[in-house]
Amino acid sequence: MQNDALPLDGITVVDLSTLLPGPLASLMLAEAGARVIKVERPGGEDMRHFPPKLGSCSAPFAVLNAGKECITLDLKQEPDRDRLAALIAQADIVIEQFRPGVMARLGLDPAALTESHPGLIYCAVTGYGQDGPRSAEAGHDLNYQALTGLLSLSPGTPEAPTVPPSLTADIAGGAMPAVINILLALRRRDLTGRGCRIDIAMADAMFTFAWLALAQGHAHVAGAVGAGGEAQDHGFSGSRDTMLTGASPRYQLYPTADDAFLAVGALEQKFWDAFCDAIALPASLRKDGADPQATRFAVHGIIRSRDAAHWRALLEPRDCCCTIVRSLAEARADPHFVARGLFDVAAQMPEADTDHTIPIATLPIAPGLRRAKDLPRRVMRPGEANGEP
């Protein structure tokens, strides 16, 4: 049931960010009731020009920015900087994605802004943070995963290196931490009346995703030292040597006869037993800790012998954590996700494109804490601001 009052009713966000991390963060805040004023340079931010397009509007831009006001400011010009300063003076939250020092060079130093406006919550999202030897470096998602060692946990092979399909650093290292910390800062402001500056470094959060490998690595190194041996770094070597990155037959992708994949996540013994029973794995191979490679090879051969439809019908009803890998189109049509309404919230294209709509980015916000799904969320053109969208 939709609540009459939303958590962020009355909150104003000035969003200076571009592309994915900041815009996704401000979209979540908008869905929770905040008014988001998106500030773009003349001609619009880069994402407006990303293909594909629906009518004249970029589809990637639309799914991230529907329901926000869009204004155009040239921050190289003093009158526009003054206008931005006036907007910030009335705002609760600022989100920006410039390299460290850029706002100060524009005469909008974050320290000065929070000093002048004690209740302001100022969130800067960057690759490597506001300080440290790499703070001025450029980077993208792949670079942050590579530098932090996360990519080493599943890099593929030299012949077929793996490019991660998900933008983990942008979303889970940028947008999500920004929202979490902004909400925490709002709560503390409720208690103290004071805002703060928030430094979100996308690279930092990549170590969160390596938590298991880090724990195992520390244990290996500590064990070597405790046994009187020389401490080695082998515990942090990464590549396919942990339970969740390819070492275990219980947590694997197995190809089917028709070149689909079966995702097996049968970690617990009861699931593993059910899976082994279903595929008739020989008893000598079920104790997979004895020779994981032999067990994995045998399972591979069995799964490869039949097509995906066979394994879907046999395994998915058995509740043994086995799933055929779906395409995005298949996943979107799955009755479960349809029933949960994940794609019900639509963006309306700009005025000339009213025959086009597209679902906005799927957000992890409970229905009762966000705007009603049938509330119009229009995508505005650059410089188009006409009050609360």
Residues with catalytic roles: 170
Helix (H, G, I), strand (E, B) or coil at 215: helix
Q: How far is CA 25 from the centre of its chain?
A: 10
Rg of the chain, C-alpha, whole Å: 25
186: Cβ–Cβ under 8 A, 6 or more apart, which residues? 11, 92, 93, 121
Q: For the beta carbon of residue 357, count every other beta carbon within 10 angstroms.
A: 16
CB atoms within 10 A of CB 45: 23
The answer to whether the peptide bond before residue 165 is cis (omega within 30 degrees of 0) is no
The span from the CA of 379 to the CA of 63, in Å, is 9
8 Å CB contact between 184 and 27: no
CA dist., res. 303 & res. 345, Å (int): 39
Give me the residue label for tokens 């294209």: 349
Rounded to whole angstroms, what are the CA distances from 218 to 147, 184, 245, 331? 19, 31, 17, 38
CA–CA distance, 287 with 341 (Å, rounded to integer) = 42
Amino acid at site 85? A
* Run of H or E residues at 69: strand 69-72
186 is written with which tokens? 């709002």
CA–CA distance from 266 to each of 92, 244, 324, 336, 383 (Å)? 47, 11, 14, 22, 52
